[in-house]
Amino acid sequence: PVVPDLVGRHVVISAGGTREPLDPVRYLGNRSSGKQGYALTRTAVARGARVTLIEANTGLPDPSGADVVRVGTAVQLREAVLKAASDADVVVMAAAVADFRPAEYAEGKIKKKDGQEPAPIVLVRNPDILAEVSAERATPDQIVVGFAAETDNVLANGREKLLRKGCDLLVVNEVGERKTFGSEENEAVVLAADGGETPVPYGPKEGLADTVWDLVSARFSPQA
Ligand code: C5P
């Protein structure tokens, strides 16, 4: 039986991966499938939340029961997240946000020219949405959750990232062959700012999503 512990809560979830355009036909992107963010959405809806799903380039159909906002770039994702976060009880940043974007966007398709080396691509930093949402919470008891994919020193790097971003919970995945990107399964450790450490064994992304909601729900102060 599903516990309706998110009834009366507004939950904002970002999913997918941003694409940073170079010209009208090309972009810098990443391998995020969006499946973890969709699993978070389905489970939050099942537990009674009002969900705003902000999706970037997943190609997945709208999940039922959620309000869906579709964005492309990190800058667009930031706008949508900050807007939705203004009355949110929880913000979960499951999207893979490009750290950098091309400094310039070419209005016309970039052409190759015979005998010429390609021009270098200059990048500029994108805003860190998770750090910004954590620093500027709409209410003092808003709960902010981040994700981190790490290849080595997973726990130590995760702890450091949790502190740097200022979020309450950080889901740390070890990036591996069959895990994480595009797969239906995941394995992770959820680190909490209060020191908690919850391992989530290898399994469906719904299982990890439910663990996140359990931890979030345990941190809510009683509803007025
Ligand atoms: O720093 P890193 O990209 O590893 O952090 C991952 C977490 O930070 C994810 O929750 C991601 O959604 C978020 N993030 C963000 N804005 C960025 C980069 C990452 O919100 N520019």
CATH number at residue 202: 3.40.50.10300
pLDDT in tens, 127-186: 999 999 999 999 999 999 999 998 889 999 999 999 999 999 999 988 866 555 667 788
The pair phi, psi for residue 219, each rounded to 5°, is -95, -5
Flag whether 115 is in a domain: no
Query: In DSSP terms, which residues pair with 199 in a beta bridge?
Result: 189
- Vertex 11, ends 53 and 70: CA angle to 5°? 15
Q: Is the ipTM of this complex over 0.95?
A: yes
Distance 117 CA to ligand 1 centre (A): 33
**Coil, helix or strand at residue 200:** strand
Ligand 1 close to Cβ of residue 32 (< 6 A): no
Q: Is the pTM of this model over 0.90?
A: yes
**Probe residue for ligand 1, chosen from 28, 40, 82, 93 as the CB with the greatest number of ligand atoms within 8 Å:** 93
153 catalytic residue (yes or no) = no
Report if residue 107 sits inside a domain. Answer: no
Dist. CA 147 → ligand 1 center (Å): 7
pLDDT in tens, 54-103: 999 999 999 999 999 999 999 999 999 999 999 999 999 999 999 999 99
List the domain range (segments joined by +) for residue 166.
10-101+120-219
What is the total count of domains within the chain? 1
Residue 176 lies inside a defined structural domain of this protein: yes
* 144 CB within 6 A, ligand 1: no
Q: Do the domain assignments include residue 112?
A: no
Task: Provide long-range contacts, Cβ within 8 A and 24+ apart, for 69-76.
Answer: 71/18, 72/18, 72/19, 72/21, 73/18, 73/19, 73/20, 73/21, 73/98, 73/101, 74/18, 74/20, 74/98, 74/101, 74/126, 74/127, 74/129, 75/101, 75/126, 75/127, 76/18
